[in-house]
Structure formats: C-alpha cells, structure tokens
Amino acid sequence: MKAKFVNSLLFSAIFLFFACGESTDVVESGTYQGTIQEVEPSKTEIYVETDENQTLELYFSDSTSLTRDGNNVEFSTLKEGMKVEVEVEKEGKRLNPLVVRVLE
C-alpha cells in the first residue's frame, strides 16, 4: 500500500516535470494583440500571449521598432501584464518582431 502510494507520487512528479515546460506557438506573419507574459531583459526577449491564447516568443533585433504613443521607447519599458500589439514576420518557424507597440 505504502509502495503503491510512493510510486503514484513519483510518477505524478515525473509527469509534472514534463508538464511544467513552457511551450510556444508559431503563427503566420501578421499583426497580433496580446499581453506580455514574461520579459527577459538579458536576452531582450518577451513572451506574448495573444488574444487567441497562443504564446509567441519574440527576440528583439536591432531593426525591431518599439513604440508607445507613437514614440520610440527603451526595452526596459516593457513589463509583464502590459497589453501590446506586435507585427511579426515568420521566417521558417522563427518569428521576427518587426514592430512592438505598447497599448497601455
């Protein structure tokens, strides 16, 4: 009985290990609105959850335009929970953010 309990616990833990990883989605080139889920300043990277519940992983490049109220702003402006509109270009399965607009 005890062994059965420990085994169930162990397999649940292993399942949780697999379930905990982030997964991201690949979308067609276009413009999407969503909320910033996570910001990684050291990699100038953001995760955006779109209104269609897809998670986009976006790495900024030198050509990525980041604006707020029409003005260019620094990457450090971005915070979790912000509403954004992103214009992405799909190359292979990589999403290049061309424009990121902060909506609030």
In SS3 terms, 23-77 reads as CCCCCCCEEEEEEEEEEEHHHCEEEEEECCCCEEEEECCCCCEEEECCEECCHHH
Say if CB 75 and CB 82 are below 8 A apart.
Answer: no
**Residues 4-23 contacting another protein, CB under 8 A:** 6, 10, 13-14, 17-18, 20-23
Residue with tokens 């912000």: 82
Q: Is residue 26 a contact point for another protein (CB under 8 A)?
A: yes
Q: Is residue 63 a contact point for another protein (CB under 8 A)?
A: no
**Residues 31-60 contacting another protein, CB under 8 A:** 40, 42-45, 57, 59
The residue range among 1-9, 30-38, 66-74, 80-88 that interacts with another protein, by the rule CB under 8 A, is 1-9
Containing H/E element for 10?
A: helix 2-19
Interface with another protein (CB under 8 A), residue from 1, 28, 92, 104: 92
Contact positions vs another protein (CB under 8 A): 2-3, 6, 10, 13-14, 17-18, 20-24, 26, 40, 42-45, 57, 59, 61, 91-94
